[in-house]
Structure 1
Amino acid sequence: MARHKEFEINEVLDKAMYLFWSQGYEKTSMQELVDTMGIHRRSIYDTFGDKHALFIQALQRYQLLQSQRLQHLLERQVPVTDIIRIFLETTVDNQALPKGCLMVNSGVELGTLDPEVSALVEGAYTHTEQCLLDLLVAGQGSGEIQADLDAELLAHYFMNAWLGLRTTVKTAVDQQKLTDIIDTTLRILNK
């Protein structure tokens, strides 16, 4: 008779996700995963597979959670420019989470070495940039953003700015510098 799992899968997967996010793939050992997740090594292998398979599932979980947060932000009934500001500020203000972005970190660490990671990172970037494009087009439709600006180029620009912030936040100690970057980035939308 099979033993009943004594843990909630997403709860232990989140613990692995935060460990990978904090340390990266290569630096994280299986023993650290066992200790952090609070389950036996055999349970990790039986439930998630090897370390790489667990990492891929952690990346997928991260993307799901990020997509949900972004969707929640997009549903707010505030001006588009405010949504974009909040989108950028969330990267800087979230002190409870590891610094940076698991997708960005993973892309930098493994993107050229691991096609599966590269595909996940690229897919996450594409999804986020499409959300930005949709938001910018909506802003142009409502008159908040100049209609003569190329929305697709703006989406590329804001995506690049967001990725830059997600990298800069890992080493920046000057919060004002980060705020200034956001303010300067948003000036492109001024009429």
Structure 2
Amino acid sequence: MARSKEFEENVVLDKAMKLFWEQGYEKTSMSDLVEHMGIHRRSIYDTFTDKRTLYLKAIERFESRTDAKLAAGVKQAQTAKEALQFIFDFMSKGEEGAPPGCMFVNSAVELACRDEEMDAKAVDAFEKVERLLIEIVYWGQQNGEFADRYEAQELAEYLHNALTGIRVMARTSVPMEKLARISTLTMRTLERE
């Protein structure tokens, strides 16, 4: 008779996600995962197969949570500027109780150059953010909030580059005030002359 799981899979996956997010893939050992997730090594292997598969599931969990938070924040915005400000604030400050920075950016820096699957996941996630930014910039250009001297796609690529830098800096001891200044100046590039 098979034993039933004595843990909620999403709960332990969230714990693994936060540990990987904080420490990275290479630095996180199976022993770290056993201790942090609060389940037996055998349960990790039975449920997630191996460390790499667990990591990929953690990345997917991070992506779905982040996508949902971005979509909800943008949907609540009354203007394109508010939507963009929400994204910059979210990327700078993160979410309460979560490690700083972005798990995708961390993963791209650590693994993309030698892991094709991780590279593909990171590129896909970055393109998804750029598509969201294109929609917001286009919205702002259509209603007169943003200048239209550049194409929405060009501006989205520029904004995404700034956001990526902010997500890297958010992992350091750089003061939040500096990240806020960078965000403000970056957003000002969209203003009409």
Shared fold (TM-score greater than 0.5)? yes
Match of 2:16 in 1: 16
The CA deviation at 1:140 is: 1.7
Deviations 1:136-175 (A, max 9, x none): 1122222222234310101001110110100011113322
Match of 1:187 in 2: 188
Match of 2:93 in 1: 93
- Counterpart-to-counterpart distance in 1, 2:190 and 2:178: 20
- Counterpart-to-counterpart distance in 2, 1:138 and 1:174: 31
What pairs with 1:158-169 in structure 2 (closer than 5 Å)?
158-169=159-170
Segments of structure 2 that go 5 or more residues without pairing to the other structure are none
Question: Structure 2 counterpart of 1:151, which letter?
Answer: A
Match of 2:51 in 1: 51
Deviations 1:90-141 (A, max 9, x none): 2222352211111000000000111111111111111111111111112222
- Counterpart-to-counterpart distance in 1, 2:150 and 2:70: 23
SS in 1 for 2:187: helix
CA RMSD of aligned residues (A): 1.2
The CA deviation at 1:45 is: 0.5
SS in 2 for 1:25: coil
Match of 2:40 in 1: 40
After superposing the two structures, state which structure 1 stretch, 134-143 or 35-44, moved more: 134-143
Q: Between Structure 1 and Structure 2, how many residues are aligned?
A: 191
The CA deviation at 1:35 is: 0.7
> Which runs of structure 1 show a deviation greater than 4 angstroms over 4 or more consecutive aligned residues?
none
Identity %: 42
Match of 1:76 in 2: 76
Question: Structure 2 counterpart of 1:43, which letter?
Answer: S
Segments of structure 1 that go 5 or more residues without pairing to the other structure are none
- Counterpart-to-counterpart distance in 1, 2:147 and 2:186: 16
After superposing the two structures, state which structure 1 stretch, 140-149 or 98-107, moved more: 140-149
Deviations 1:58-91 (A, max 9, x none): 0111111111111111211421112111211122
Match of 1:135 in 2: 136
SS in 2 for 1:75: helix
- Counterpart-to-counterpart distance in 2, 1:182 and 1:92: 8
Question: Structure 2 counterpart of 1:56, which letter?
Answer: L
Structure 2 residue 126 is matched with structure 1 residue 113 = no
| TM-score, scaled relative to structure 1 | 0.95
SS in 1 for 2:189: helix
Match of 1:149 in 2: 150
